Amino acid sequence: MTPMPMKKFVRRIQWASLLVLCGANVASAQWGSLKGRFLLDGKAPEAAVINADKDTPTCGKCALKQETLVVNSENNGIRDIVITLSPAKGKKKDVKIHPDYEKDAAANVTVANQCCRFDPHVVLLRTSQTLVITNPDPVAHNSNVTTIKNAAINPSIPAGGKHDAKFPKEENLPCKISCNIHPWMSGQIVIKDHPYMAATDADGNFEIKNLPVGEWQFRAWQESSGYIAKAKIGAKESSKRGEFDAAIKDGETTDLGVIKVGEAIFKKKK
């Protein structure tokens, strides 16, 4: 058998060592999760009924209600509070991304102009993903996305049509999406360069999985109030910019439990 040339042999050894090192780094990385539940500390408001006075044969059948603040009347859970990892200055470079998130790093994320509303009301989008705006309705819509760092868009979307959009820059705050044809239609698009974000469900619950271990800063925001300030998280309160700290531990889920949000914060911005 012909012996392998020394240069080729050394190169293979180098590649093998690199693969072992990469595997060791993934194996040694530590990950944990964060969850909690946001509840209104006060009386749940009733959502106002929308007068769908445009394209009424379609929109009038949808029993539309305002979604800027949705509180579950049975348990006071607040829907659509946005929670994002918001590292303190200088720590962003330390944010590692769990390998599982690579599976959908370039995925399509859909928001539909459906039944004369945006579905879902809050969209979580990474800068590497594509926003696909669809229109299953039998009437035309437009989707006006107002941004700060990215180019704004306002495509007209005919019945059954769709529009693809990219937003390559992270936005500090959620961006409004609206329809000028049907002015009651609005939603929010959260654009981040990492996957560590969530929006609370109908009962106020959220969970962010596979966060890197360590002490991290998070931020809570809601469409009607803006930053969720002075929310009671255990013995502490969130800051005026909705910031709170949480320790992520290896292989564990940090449960913040019930997070109480005072009703006054929603009454300030009307």
Q: What is the pLDDT of residues 39-80, one digit of tens each?
A: 999 999 999 999 999 999 999 999 999 999 999 999 999 999
Would you say domain 32-95+196-270 falls under CATH 3.40.50.300? no
Q: What is the mean pLDDT of residues 74-90?
A: 93
Instruction: Say yes or no to pLDDT of 21 above 60.
Output: no
Instruction: Say yes or no to pLDDT of 14 above 80.
Output: no
Which residue did the predictor score with more confidence, 63 or 10? 63
List every span in the chain annotated with CATH 2.60.40.420. Answer: 96-195
- The band of 11, judged by pLDDT with boundaries at 50, 70 and 90, is low
Asked whether the bond before 120 is cis by omega within 30 degrees of 0, the reply is: yes
Residue 219's identity, in one-letter code, is R
**DSSP code, position 62:** S
Q: How far apart are CA 202 and CA 218, in angstroms?
A: 21
Q: For all residues of the chain together, what is the average pLDDT?
A: 91
Instruction: Say yes or no to pLDDT of 10 above 50.
Output: no
Pairing of β 186-192 and β 122-126: parallel
- The band of 8, judged by pLDDT with boundaries at 50, 70 and 90, is low
Instruction: Say yes or no to pLDDT of 267 above 50.
Output: yes
Residues 47 and 79 sit within 8 Å (Cβ to Cβ)? no
List every span in the chain annotated with CATH 2.60.40.10. Answer: 32-95+196-270
* Alpha carbon distances (Å) from 221 to 52, 116, 209, 265, 266: 28, 25, 19, 11, 12
- The band of 245, judged by pLDDT with boundaries at 50, 70 and 90, is very high
pLDDT in tens, 122-151: 999 999 999 999 999 999 999 999 999 999
- The band of 107, judged by pLDDT with boundaries at 50, 70 and 90, is very high
Which residue did the predictor score with more confidence, 260 or 7? 260
Q: What is the mean pLDDT of residues 201-214?
A: 98
Q: What's domain 96-195's architecture?
A: Sandwich (2.60)
